[in-house]
Amino acid sequence: MSEYIQTEDIVVFITAPNEDLAVTIARSLVESRLAACANIIKGIRSIYIWQDKVEDDKEVFMIVKTRRELFERLKSKVKELHSYEVPEIIALPITAGSDDYLKWLRESTL
C-alpha cells in the first residue's frame, strides 16, 4: 500500500502565452524558492471569454508545486513577471501524496 499524508501543500495552475515567458516565470519561482518545481506543458489550446468576446488561443500551461503559506508571494511574483492583464493563477490543495515527495517539496521551498 502506498504512503499518503494530508498536507498543506498546493499545486498552482498558471497559463502563459508562450514557452519563453513560462520559463522565465518558472525559473524565477524555483530560484527564489517560492516553488519546489514547475512543469511546463506546451501546446494547449484555451477557449475563454475576454472583454465580452470568445477568444481561442494557443498557450503554455504550468503546474507549480509549493506550500499554501507561500501562495501570496508566489502570486505577486507571477503578476510582476506576467504579460497578461489578468493572468490565471489558481491554487488547488494537495490532499495526499508520497511522504518522500512532500518532504522534498517542503525542503525545497522557503
| Separation between Cα atoms, residue 94 and residue 103, nearest integer Å | 13
Cβ–Cβ under 8 Å, residues 16 and 99 = no
* CATH assignment at residue 65: 3.30.70.120
Predicted local confidence at residue 1, as pLDDT: 47
Residue 21 has pLDDT above 50, yes or no: yes
Rounded to two decimals, the pTM is 0.92
Domain boundaries, position 26: 9-107
Q: Is residue 3 part of a domain?
A: no
Q: How far apart are CA 19 and CA 57, in angstroms?
A: 14
Q: Is position 2 within any domain?
A: no
Residue 6 has pLDDT above 70, yes or no: no
Asked whether residue 4 is domain-assigned, the answer is: no
The answer to the question of residue 23 being in a domain is yes
Q: What is the DSSP letter of 34?
A: S
Rounded Cα gap, residues 26 and 45, in angstroms: 20
CA 14 to chain centre: 5
